[in-house]
Structure 1
């Protein structure tokens, strides 16, 4: 089961990367891991470095993909982004979310600037 969900997660991240690229963003990196956190996608939107969290839910039985991003998850993403920025400085950055709902990824929602690193 773990292997299957891991594979599905990577597939959804690749789907999100292609989808965002079609909308003008440029992929910088993917699956950047630090102790205590992982950055799914790092992209550029003009001069802005964008940390993208990709979430998928095949069913809304336990909430939507967007609802799965808790405050604790946000803190882990902020910590990982801070570590990334130590070796890759950027003047501007933001946190986006790509929420994919449906077994066949029928609904893709892109939330720009989904939360702040406050």
Structure 2
């Protein structure tokens, strides 16, 4: 478990740097509520971006791109909705995924 957590933290850090290099602004990371978690919150201009980072080895269960289930997207949406409400955000929001494999990184805008 500790190895997977460490790989997940490394993947999140790499994803954050990757998005910052592409012009997004970091807001917050690892936002946790009892009903869901947001890996990274960023801004793209005036738009708010809720980022889910998925790490998988390329051959493990179809790689990182295929690692997000419908139940996970529902939990992320609930967490983001709560975040928007408590922070009184009145702006366009979107959900992105950064899929991190050992040899590549893929940024999927408006993933769900």
TM-score scaled to structure 2, two decimals? 0.95
Question: Does residue 94 of structure 2 align to residue 94 of structure 1?
Answer: yes
Q: Secondary structure at the match of 2:109?
A: strand
Alpha-carbon shift at residue 87 of structure 1 (Å):
1.4
- Count of aligned residue pairs for this structure pair: 111
Measured in 1, the distance between the counterparts of 2:80 and 2:16 equals 18
Q: Is the 8 A contact 1:48 1:94 kept in 2?
A: yes
Q: Where does the alignment leave 5 or more consecutive residues of structure 2 unmatched?
A: none
1:20-99 matched pairs, under 5 angstroms:
20-88=19-87, 89-99=89-99
Q: Deviations over 1:27-75 (max 9, x none)?
A: 0000000112110000000000000000011232311201111111110
CA 1:61–1:7 in 2, change beyond 3 Å: closer, same or farther?
A: closer
Q: Secondary structure at the match of 1:42?
A: strand
Measured in 2, the distance between the counterparts of 1:86 and 1:54 equals 23
